[in-house]
């Protein structure tokens, strides 16, 4: 049981560091581009991971915990997404907030589906 917690912690730490690195590489004052890119990449990655596990249930659960729960969980930034939208709304940037919400939700679900479908070939 402790092993599972350690795997999630290691994956989460790695994902958080990757997210921070992305925020340093992609900076935009007018649109939260780094968070959008992280959420799309994380959605795509978790689609691939879950797709692989749906076809081969005999795979080691440890790897799924490390990659899906830990890495993707630490990498994706839905809490930052919520905070950034709240800030946009508070500043009166309603159209930017709406665009950001729609792009994140629609493209994120699409990226997850695309990643999942790629594993089915």
The pLDDT, as a whole number, for residue 58 is 67
Query: Does the annotation list 73 as a binding residue?
Result: yes
* Radius of gyration of the chain from its Cα atoms, rounded to whole angstroms: 16
The pLDDT, as a whole number, for residue 115 is 95
Residue 57 pLDDT exceeds 70: no
Which residues span the domain enclosing 40?
Answer: 2-118
Ramachandran bin of 4, using left for φ above 0, alpha for ψ from -120 to 50, beta for the remaining angles: alpha
Q: Which residue has the higher pLDDT, 103 or 59?
A: 103
Please compute the mean of the pLDDT values over residues 34-59 and round it to a whole number.
Answer: 87
Q: How many domains does the chain have?
A: 1
């Amino acid at each position: 049981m402790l092993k599972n917690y350690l795997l999630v912690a290691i994956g989460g730490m790695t994902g958080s560091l990757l997210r921070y690195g992305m925020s340093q590489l992609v900076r935009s004052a007018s649109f939260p581009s780094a968070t959008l890119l992280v959420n799309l990449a994380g959605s795509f990655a978790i689609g691939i991971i879950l797709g692989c596990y749906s076809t081969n249930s005999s795979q080691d659960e440890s790897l799924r915990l490390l990659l899906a729960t830990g890495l993707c969980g630490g990498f994706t930034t839905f809490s930052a997404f919520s905070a950034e939208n709240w800030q946009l709304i508070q500043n009166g940037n309603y159209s930017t907030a709406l665009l950001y919400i729609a792009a994140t939700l629609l493209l994120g679900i699409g990226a997850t589906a695309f990643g999942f479908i790629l594993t089915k070939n």
